[in-house]
């Protein structure tokens, strides 16, 4: 009897670089729910466009981003972990080859949101995204955004009752978070762009070395700024001091290990740059209002086994 394999639908990324325009019919298998979430690593793409909305959250690394609106307005910037970008139908964009660059994307048709979309599109953050600007989310907001995308994906895979209603509600929440996260910003000068790129390099360094001892002088060196100017620039870009950002980053890494590993709290503290379990527990209580152990237990209580997504079926290998 031939071996049977399960076909996956929602989590496989589209293949970029094979053409310059991507049609919605290739990506939305369920016309009633024109939404798709996927994670992807990028080694560079050609300039391309599509006939649906896309928002992309940078989850790690950095890369050069080029954007050209349907009206011909061009922008370019260095993307870093925590950045969020948006693309309207007809906008063209590409990523240069970056360093450990990964994205979590959501594709959707605005009509799916009904009368909510015009109001969402008027939020300051959404206006910036649709102009081709990026918005930076601090680690806590980045984790919140990623969790919403994961929940959308889970709803579509698990096919629970009222899946369409749940996806619409979660997508609205994600767009609200994006829209509220970016107040209108003045046009950047060359010096401001260079400063932001320096902050980007420092954040990439934190992402890669969060488990080690990190000195302010090393971060400022990565940014090619003086320590004092680096601190003020970092706060302006992220809304946090470098140390606040690093603590939130380490806490998010600890939360991932608590959810997805069997390491003890002491082992997780060592793996995420905290001195010991007591220091991690103290910070965890302050930021999460519970102990690491309780967080891990709650995560196991919420776990559900993955199931085949709606419309997927098992077929024998030919």
Residue 113: pLDDT band by 50, 70, 90 thresholds?
very high
- Nearest CA to 36 out of 20, 23, 18, 19 is that of 23
- Judge contact between 198 and 224, C-beta under 8 A: yes
DSSP one-letter code for 122: T
Q: What is the pLDDT of residues 229-257, one digit of tens each?
A: 999 998 887 778 999 989 988 998 898 89
Q: What is the DSSP letter of 86?
A: E
Rounded Cα distance, 118 and 116, in Å: 6
pTM for this model (two decimals): 0.64
In this prediction, residues 6-34 reach a mean pLDDT of 60
Give the model's confidence band at 98: pLDDT under 50 very low, under 70 low, under 90 confident, else very high.
low
Task: Tell me the average pLDDT across 19-25.
Answer: 73
């Amino acid at each position: 009897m031939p071996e049977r394999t399960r076909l996956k639908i929602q989590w496989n990324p589209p293949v970029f670089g094979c053409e310059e325009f991507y049609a919605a019919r290739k990506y939305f298998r369920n016309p009633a729910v024109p939404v798709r979430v996927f994670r992807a690593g990028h080694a560079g793409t050609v300039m391309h466009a599509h006939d649906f909305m896309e928002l992309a959250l940078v989850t790690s690394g950095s890369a050069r981003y080029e954007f050209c609106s349907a009206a011909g307005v061009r922008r370019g910037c260095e993307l870093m972990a925590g950045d969020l970008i948006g693309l309207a139908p007809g906008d063209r964009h590409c990523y240069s080859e970056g360093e450990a660059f990964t994205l979590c994307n959501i594709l959707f048709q605005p009509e799916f949101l009904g009368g909510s979309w015009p109001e969402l599109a008027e939020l300051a953050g959404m206006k910036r995204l649709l102009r081709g600007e990026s918005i930076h989310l601090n680690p806590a907001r980045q984790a919140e955004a990623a969790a919403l995308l994961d929940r959308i994906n889970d709803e579509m895979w698990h096919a629970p009752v009222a899946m369409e209603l749940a996806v619409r509600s979660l997508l609205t929440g994600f767009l609200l978070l994006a829209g509220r996260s970016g107040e209108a910003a003045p046009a950047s000068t060359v010096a401001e762009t260079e400063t932001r790129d320096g902050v980007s390099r420092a954040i990439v360094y934190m992402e890669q070395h969060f488990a080690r001892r990190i000195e302010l002088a090393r971060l400022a060196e990565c940014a090619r700024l003086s320590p004092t100017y680096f601190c003020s620039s970092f706060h302006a870009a992220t809304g946090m001091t470098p140390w606040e950002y690093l603590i939130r980053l380490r806490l998010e890494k600890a939360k991932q290990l608590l959810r997805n590993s069997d390491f003890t709290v002491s082992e997780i503290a060592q793996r995420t740059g905290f001195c010991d379990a007591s220091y991690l527990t103290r910070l965890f209580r302050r930021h999460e209002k519970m102990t690491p152990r309780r967080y891990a237990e709650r995560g196991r209580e919420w776990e559900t086994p993955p199931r085949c997504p709606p419309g997927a079926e098992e077929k024998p290998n030919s």
